[in-house]
Amino acid sequence: MSENTGGLRIERRTIDVVPDAERHGTPLSQFTLWFGANMQITAIVDGALAVVFGANALWAIIGLLIGNIAGGIVMALHSAQGPRLGLPQMISSRAQFGVLGAAVPLVLVIIMYLGFAATGTVLAGQAVNEILHVQAPSVGIVVFGVLTAVLATLGYRYIHGFGRVATVLGGLGFTYIAIRLGVSHDVGAMFADTSFDAVTFLLAISLGAGWQLTYGPYVADYSRYLPRSTSEKTTFGSTFAGSVIGSQWSMTIGALVASIPLSKGSTFLDDQVGFMGKLAGGGLLAVVIYLVILVGKLTVNTLNAYGGFMSVLTTTSAFTRRDRIAPVARAIYIGVFILLSVLIALLATDNFLSNFKNFVLTLLMVFTPWSAINLVDYYLVSKERVDIPALYDPDARYGRWNVVALVSYGVGVVVQIPFLAQSLYTGPITKALGGADISWLVGLVVTAVIFYPWAKRRSDPPETMIYPTRAQGVDELELDAVGH
């Protein structure tokens, strides 16, 4: 949408390059979006998992912080690509995997979006039901699905605007929850146990890192409209701060509420949303907190739906060679995605916490190699030089399939198997380590070590950034205005 567009309008840009004339906003928008997206109930659940599966509150919070910082660095490095390229994240990965080859990780990305959208819909549906005072779970799930579809269809501007609302409401609501937690329970006693267990500490790190790393495949989708002259450091810092502060705040609350003894009235494991309402004090205050939960979940669920739509379009366009679709087609894409996530939510099992932990850790296995390849190529091999028109042409510079990236990616996934620690499978090395899960770190390092020297020999990046010409709807600019 252009700056002077009035009224309620659907975003018209999809996976095509955002022209300079349509760039707008400041890096502050990255802070508010990612802070608001992380001030939400699923992040609280993620933090609670560290305690549920054995860590004490002290070491759970420290481990979650380390994981959020480590994963947040990787996530924010992806975000810094947005203003420079003006592209959704997964389109840019064609420079590493090839125009058709990028579809391999994309399939897994789409599954990730569906999984997070479904699990988020379950929790948000509970909040809707509490607000409307209805019992049938399907009511809240369907209502929330409709709200997500509308916001995701409207697109970029409205998503960022809603992120600002979520930042204010989340900040106020979660501050109140933290105060109520301190007033209602003996928080000091929760830190009385200072014993250290390496296995559960590493699990806490993995939960924090996994939370951040799974944003990687779509974080640049929300920074691509920033002016091309926007400092990469500023974009990085704003995204990193918003995401890490928001997620750590939520996860800390989760670790604390999970530490409340059952004898003190803790029902969090049985009813996460209902517990937060009771903690707020019940009555009207509970309704306000349910609204805060709903707004936070709507923010991040919209990111999942919007990113899912972009990923599906990126996959299909590799074969159709189209980079734009009509608004009606856009609405259909998003509608089908939301319908699938709602159906999954309706069929979800009761064993939510355990399934969610396994889901997050499994995602780590498939996305850390992708992040390693994308970042190593962009910053170290190509050195921020991309032939953007070639990303849409299988016969151009990047070709159909990039064997170097695909093989490195495959190795990066397989090498993690002996290090997995899940209910369905525990790797032999993990057993030798006493159950500690370090698979994500192994995948990140091994993939980078294999990919970098191989890509360095085989890669042929352009001399400078190459942008589309005026005839393709973008200002003609052969040299990078940022000065690389």
The predicted-structure confidence for 41-88, as pLDDT tens digits, reads as follows 989 999 998 998 889 999 999 999 999 999 999 999 999 999 999 998
Mean pLDDT on 211-236: 93
User: HEC profile for the chain?
Assistant: CCCCCCCCCCCCCCCCCCCHHHCCCCCHHHHHHHHHHHCCHHHHHHHHHHHHCCCCHHHHHHHHHHHHHHHHHHHHHHHCHHHHHCCCHHHHCHHHHCCCCCHHHHHHHHHHHHHHHHHHHHHHHHHHHHHHCCCCHHHHHHHHHHHHHHHHHHCHHHHHHHHHHHHHHHHHHHHHHHHHHHHHCCHHHHCCCCCCCHHHHHHHHHHHHHHHHCCCCCHHHHCCCCCCCCCHHHHHHHHHHHHHHHHHHHHHHHHHHCCCCHHHCCCCCCCHHHHHHHHHCCHHHHHHHHHHHHHHHHHHHHHHHHHHHHHHHHHHHHHHCCCCCCHHHHHHHHHHHHHHHHHHHHCCCCCHHHHHHHHHHHHHHHHHHHHHHHHHHHHHHCCCCCECHHHHCCCCCCCCCCHHHHHHHHHHHHCCHHHCECCCCECHHHHHCCCCCCHHHHHHHHHHHHHHHHHHHHCCCCCCCECCCHHHCCCCCCCCCCCC
| Tens-digit pLDDT profile for residues 282-313 | 899 999 999 999 999 999 999 989 888 888 88
| Tens-digit pLDDT profile for residues 343-401 | 888 886 566 656 666 666 677 788 889 999 999 999 999 999 999 999 999 999 999 99
Confidence of residue 333 (pLDDT cuts 50, 70, 90): confident
Domains, the chain, in order of start with CATH, read 23-472 (1.10.4160.10)
